[in-house]
Amino acid sequence: MNLSPLRIGIAGIAGRVGRLLCEEISSTHATISGGTSLSKDLLNLTCQVPVFDEIEALINVSDVIIDFTNASITGRHAKALQNSQTAWILGTTGISDEDQNLIEETSKTIPIVQAANFSPGVALMIRLASEMAKALPAENYDVEILEAHHRQKVDAPSGTAIAIGEAIAKGRQVDLKQVQEVGRYGVTGARKKNAIGFASLRGGQIVGEHSAFFISDVEEISLTHKAFDRRIFARGAVRSAFWSVDKPAGLYGLSHVLGLDSI
């Protein structure tokens, strides 16, 4: 049994979540092996560790890498991590289908925990949304998903909103891409039967708010989650990093870390 402290690397260490990860990891018995950053703004980092330009250098000194970077470099990270001895905790959203295929290929060689949102509350919300979708017939209950985020967010709908939609679609045994309606505008006609609708709000510094509405002619049932502090994402990712130790290669979700799904 390896008694050495877990070495956690932070990809995107100068980002909003990256800076919080410095604080969260420092409060555990793990060590921060280093970070990567495309930004030159490294002031006020709470952890004084090596910062590398390339992910390969961070992989070489890390047991686990936590990655909240940009979707434009996710594919490159997946290729670099293939056949390494380093687990990957991936919280980047807006990932293309091509890069998602690379992630799944990489998961054949290393453990990957991928989540659109590392809040335990969101993981539970996704599970509940799936169960509601199974119980509430699509022909009787319209589903609408509303999400709100800060003005700097670059993708819409959010990765979390899509994850909620995918859970509902799975519960209804349909393909989300075939039934989703995003950003209605103009004369759209009547709402399509069995559609799953998405609406996105952007403004200020909203950390993240998500609601799923099941609406029939006679009642409305809603699930809502609001994040008040990005620290919840950092804590969930660090929890996932410790969980990933000694796990076999595979693609996992936060639901596995929380014990909601068997392995």
Active-site residue set: 149, 153
> Does a cis peptide bond (omega within 30 degrees of 0) precede residue 111?
no
Tokens for 171, please give them: 């519960």
DSSP 75-114: HHHHHHHTT-S-EEEE---S--HHHHHHHHHHTTTSEEEE
Q: Please give the single-letter amino acid code of residue 66.
A: I
Q: In what order do the strands lie in the sheet with 7-11?
A: 51-52, 31-36, 7-11, 64-67, 87-90, 111-114, 250-252
Beta 51-52 vs 31-36: how paired, if at all?
parallel
